[in-house]
Amino acid sequence: MINQTPPDLHAGVKILHDPVRNKGTAYTEAERDALKLRGLLPPRVHTMAEQELRVLGNIRAKPTDLERYLYLIALQDRNENLFYRVIMNHLEEMMPIIYTPTVGKACQEFQHIYRKPRGFYVSLQDKGRVKEIMQNWPHKDARIIVVTDGERILGLGDLGADGMGIPIGKLALYTACAGIHPTQCMPVMLDVGTNNEKLLNDPLYNGLERRRVRGKEYDELFDEFVTAAKELFPGVLIQIEDFGNTNAFRLLDQYRGNTCLFDDDIQGTGAVAVAGIIAAMRITGGKLSEQKILFLGAGEAGIGIADVFVAALKEDGMSDREARHHCWFVDSKGLLVADRDNMAAHKKPYAHKHEAITEFADAVKTLEPTAILGLSGQPGTFTRNVVETMAKINQRPIIFALSNPTSQAECTAEQAYTWSDGRAIFASGSPFDPVKIGNQLFVPGQGNNAYIFPGVGLGVIVSRSRVVTDDMFLAAAHSLANQVTEADLERGRVYPALSLIRQVSALIAMDVAKIAYDNGYTDRAEPDDILADVHEHMYKPVYPHYA
């Protein structure tokens, strides 16, 4: 639990510039006297609810989502409790602003919209003294670190230090969706340069003006960062985010056994997509063991989904080899087949014996999958031909266009429903509006990792687990799928409403914590009521009283 540190009663205006303690016009008459705020604020005392109304009015008056993003970040910088109250009470409206798709645009413009420092930067210039500089972080009880090196931001590519918007946004979701206290969250940018020529030629770029470093120097900096984080914040959970494929897979493999660490792009994406497929079975009436999935894109997300899907099939008694044959991949070179040369290591387990096929549409016709999952970052690749073919093969084709942001989606919700005569079971990575086909209104599901990573993180933090394991993500997938209601399914949605995300996260956290207790991953004694213990740890955005 978080202990509110009483402020210096003579701090005066200083407290108004502390986002953790600032209450703005909500300071009571007694607090204004005790804290020397009399005269520094307008005379009327407002409730938090009244402040929320003011914020909503300002947000909704902004002409663009990027301006709404800037307004919300400014609010976060001055009053975190009010920021999170607004986000939590209006999550479906605010989440597309503070995260996908708007955060992608914010990262692309980061050097131009930079206002105030937020998060922590570790660069190649700090090599050899990373622990020393990390002691500058003001909050000494960090429980969760989200770190990126900016190489593969969403589907937008190498944005270098401008990728800091992603850890900031992810951690805002950890707090809003799972109640991790804001002061326990630490966004980190590992700046190793960028190969983005536009950024290198921009005089306003905030990162190192050099090309991206790889190899030994990169590895030494990353290891120094992880070592420092573990020493300064014992038990901290580290989430690696939006790293390039080569680094992501090998860093996860290298550190997962001895560090409380996971990769959301691999494991979180895997769990949320598989949860959607499990829920879709309640619509199709099929079984997981009967599914054949064709992936467009064989990077972190696609392989992560396949790994979780294979784990789910093995849980039901299928062999590893047989389970992998339910997953097929098309990448930039065509169908992933066993006799291809120079194949990346993470692709080899899913390279099956088959004749080469160059085009995705031809792979759909030949393999006749029950589901297609798009993770390519290539918009429009689920063409009308592809969707109509899927609808001919399957009574209820599963079509997940999961690339982020919305502009990168393989097809739109309207296209999937229209081209399949309303029979597609559709989900996307970023939000799409409901679609009306005839007299039926379809509400597309959003296969957003926010359904998974906050709950997993909360369960790990509450239980004080020393590791994050694959079985935790499989449990999270089952937990999420179980929370999809019949009403959701009737509207074509294979995920719960985002408005229920804190309930979803709490139940996932309970299942994750149970795995930690049962398997001895923690020295903490198992509480009598795990769910109640989870709720007890969840932050709520209310103002403390200072007088």
pLDDT category at 191 given cuts 50, 70, 90 is very high
Q: Provide DSSP, 111-134.
A: HHH--S--SEEEEGGGTT-HHHHH
Residue 209 within a domain: no
The answer as to whether 387 is a domain residue is yes
Structural domain for 431, as ranges:
267-448
What per-residue confidence (pLDDT) applies to 405?
86
The C-alpha atoms of residue 504 and residue 510 are separated, in whole angstroms, by 10
Tokens of 206: 């905030």
pLDDT exceeds cutoff 80 at 472 = yes
CA–CA distance, 381 with 516 (Å, rounded to integer): 41
Task: Specify the DSSP class assigned to residue 266.
Answer: I
**Is pLDDT at 211 greater than 90 in this prediction?**
yes
Of 411, 432, 448, the residue at which a domain comes to its end is 448
Mark out the alpha helices in 79-183 (DSSP H runs): 80-89, 91-98, 102-108, 110-113, 130-134, 165-178
Q: What is the mean pLDDT of residues 426-443?
A: 91
pLDDT score of 5:
54
Whether the predicted pLDDT of 546 surpasses 90: no
Residue 399: φ, ψ to 5°: -130, 105
Q: How many domains does the chain have?
A: 2
Residue 159 forms part of a structural domain = no
Predicted local distance difference test score (pLDDT) of residue 307: 97
Q: Tell me, letter by letter, the H, E, C secondary structure of 431-451.
A: CCCCEEECCEEECCEECCHHH
Tell me what pLDDT residue 11 has.
66
CA 493 – CA 223 distance, rounded (Å)? 42
pLDDT-derived band of residue 6, with 50, 70 and 90 as boundaries? low
* Helix (H), strand (E) counts: the chain: 23, 14
What whole-number percentage of the chain has pLDDT above 70? 98
Please identify, among 54, 75, 97, the residue that sits at the C-terminal boundary of a domain.
Answer: 97
Give me the pLDDT at residue 438, please: 85
pLDDT confidence of residue 430: 85
Task: Look over the chain and give the mean of its residue pLDDT values, rounded to a whole number.
Answer: 95
Whether residue 10 is predicted with pLDDT greater than 60 in this model: the reply is no
Mean pLDDT value of segment 73-82: 97
% residues pLDDT > 90 (the chain): 92
Mean pLDDT within 411-416 = 97
- 257 within domain boundaries: no
pLDDT tens-digit readout, 214-236: 999 999 999 999 999 999 999 99
Position 281 scores a pLDDT of: 97
Phi then psi dihedrals of residue 74, to 5 deg:
-65, -40
Instruction: Extract the tokens encoding 402.
Output: 């999961």
Q: Are the beta carbons of 409 and 378 closer than 8 angstroms?
A: no
pLDDT of residue 451 exceeding 60, the answer is: yes
What is the pLDDT, as a whole number, of residue 3?
A: 53
Name the residues annotated as catalytic.
99, 170
Following CA atoms 307, 508, 247, 205 in sequence, which dihedral angle do they give, to the nearest 10 degrees? 140
Whole-number Å distance between alpha carbons of 2 and 290: 48
Residue 459: which pLDDT band, with cuts at 50, 70 and 90?
very high
Query: Would you tell me how many other CB atoms lie within 10 Å of the CB of residue 215?
Result: 7
461 inside domain = no
Distances (CA, A) of 499 to 82, 87, 118, 126, 450: 18, 10, 27, 42, 12
Residue 423 has pLDDT above 60, yes or no: yes
Residue 343 included in any domain: yes
> What CATH number does residue 393 fall under?
3.40.50.720
> Is the model's pLDDT at 4 over the cut of 70?
no
Does 483 have pLDDT greater than 70? yes
Q: Which residues, 6 or more positions from 12, have their beta carbon under 8 angstroms from its beta carbon? A: 35, 36, 37, 40
pLDDT (average), residues 79-99: 96
527 belongs to a structural domain: no
pLDDT at 1 over 90: no
Please indicate, yes or no, if residue 498 is contained in any of the structural domains. no
Q: Of 97, 122, 146, which closes a domain? A: 97
29: domain CATH number? 1.20.1370.30
